A and B are shown apart, each in its own frame.
Chain A
Amino acid sequence: MSTTTARRSQGSYVDRPSSSSLADVIEIILDKGLVIDAYVRVSLVGIEILTIDARIVIASVDTYLRFAEATNRLDLAAQGGKDLPELMEGLTESGTRGKIGGAVDSVKDALTPDDSDKEKQREESS
């Protein structure tokens, strides 16, 4: 288990867990494998529900509202807020740079791995 070749240099662009998390395991292996009908005896405690959450395609009103709200937050970021916590810390986009182009740029800037926040702030405040 600790013999994984998983460890990558920090510059990697691939998210690679060094050992499988429960979420990965559920998504990848639950309900896979050879089945001998008469012998599957175990009822899955607390796992079934998680699976349903992870697997089902939800193109429902909830999904639509979620995406709409996400664009709303993106809008805030373009106007000077810093409201994309899961994406980036310290994104300090100035509000002066128009809307759409600024939003695209700032998001991309923030996602570039070797881009330090300090550099970005200096650049943008000039």
Chain B
Amino acid sequence: MAGAASEALDGLYVYGIVQADANLPDDLVGVEGRPVSALAEGTVAALVTELSPGDEFGTPDGLLAHTNVLDTASRSVAVLPMTFGTVVPSAEELTEEVLSPRQAEFSEALRTVEGAVQFTVRARYLRDVALAAMIAGNPEIARLREAISGTSEDETRNERIRLGELIVATFDRMRPTDAESIREALSPFARDVVHREAGQAEDIVELALLVPRERQSEFENAVESIAKDMHEEISFRLVGPQAPYDFVNGD
């Protein structure tokens, strides 16, 4: 890359922090399709890409490149993800203002994620199965369903809202037990677990799990097993292995 463009606005895009002696994969492709290199200071190093003026970042492609670099690196080395969109003006500034003063802190954090990867498990009720069970099990839900049948939304707006409220309340009552079962089944395989709140009424739980690499197969089998047990009512989505996004302090 032509280093001559350095007079103006270019800088370094920073993906994350690794150990200085980390043996990085050599095929990392960064933002804007550019190469990724490690800038070391003492015991730690930053994964960076040199930017040029006019580079576009903050785009969906940039976000995918950011995760791809971190996820690929995390398969073989310990890595602390930076938040997406971190750009420093120069290598000197990165070294002096960030790496050097925070070396001990980064080293400690790297130890906590060493040898492990993150998986994210999302469990969600199969909506129509759940609704059918609610209709069968709750006379008021069944009655309201009959009441709105063949009507327009305007004609039975109040009944519809009441019906929807009952359904959401039923999901709210069902959720804690199922969330706990899922957590209990999977957490034994993880070094650490972060429980995220459900986003939608039919979401049961989203768990981020820090799984040691040597337990990855066991963990995957455990997900498969609980998904099989619950498949008539609940769908499971598993994303990973990824870098430990949920297990670094975002202070």
A14-B227, A57-B198, A84-B128 as given contacts; A67 in contact with B57, CB under 8 Å:
no
Query: Nearest A residue to B151 by beta-carbon distance?
Result: A72
- Answer yes or no: B141 CB below 8 A from chain A CBs: yes
Q: How far is the CA of A100 from the CA of B136 in the complex (A)?
A: 6
Shortest beta-carbon distance, B35 to chain A, in Å?
15
Q: How far is the CA of A72 from the CA of B136 in the complex (A)?
A: 14
Interface string of A56-74 (1 = CB under 8 A from B): 1111010111111111101
The contact of B83 among A26, A33, A46, A47, by CB within 8 Å, is A33
Please give, as numbers and ranges, the residues of chain B lying within 8 Å of A16 by CB-CB distance.
237-239
- Answer yes or no: B50 CB below 8 A from chain A CBs: no
Please give, as numbers and ranges, the residues of chain A lying within 8 Å of B232 by CB-CB distance.
108, 111-112
Task: Determine if A64 and B164 form an interchain contact, defined as CB atoms under 8 angstroms apart.
Answer: yes
- Answer yes or no: A3 CB below 8 A from chain B CBs: yes
- Answer yes or no: A43 CB below 8 A from chain B CBs: yes
Please give, as numbers and ranges, the residues of chain B lying within 8 Å of A35 by CB-CB distance.
82-83, 86, 250-251
- Answer yes or no: B135 CB below 8 A from chain A CBs: yes
Report A's interface with B, CB cutoff 8 A.
Answer: 1, 3-5, 8, 12-17, 20, 22, 24-26, 28-36, 38-47, 54-59, 61, 63-72, 74-75, 84, 87, 100-101, 103-104, 107-108, 111-113
Other than the given A36-B98, A41-B85, A67-B131, 15 more pairs (CB < 8 A) read A15-B235, A26-B63, A29-B66, A29-B245, A30-B63, A32-B81, A42-B87, A47-B58, A63-B201, A65-B164, A67-B164, A68-B164, A70-B127, A71-B148, A107-B126
In the assembled complex, 6 residue pairs joining A and B whose CB atoms fall closer than 8 Å, in A order, are A33-B82, A36-B88, A47-B58, A71-B135, A75-B149, A111-B231
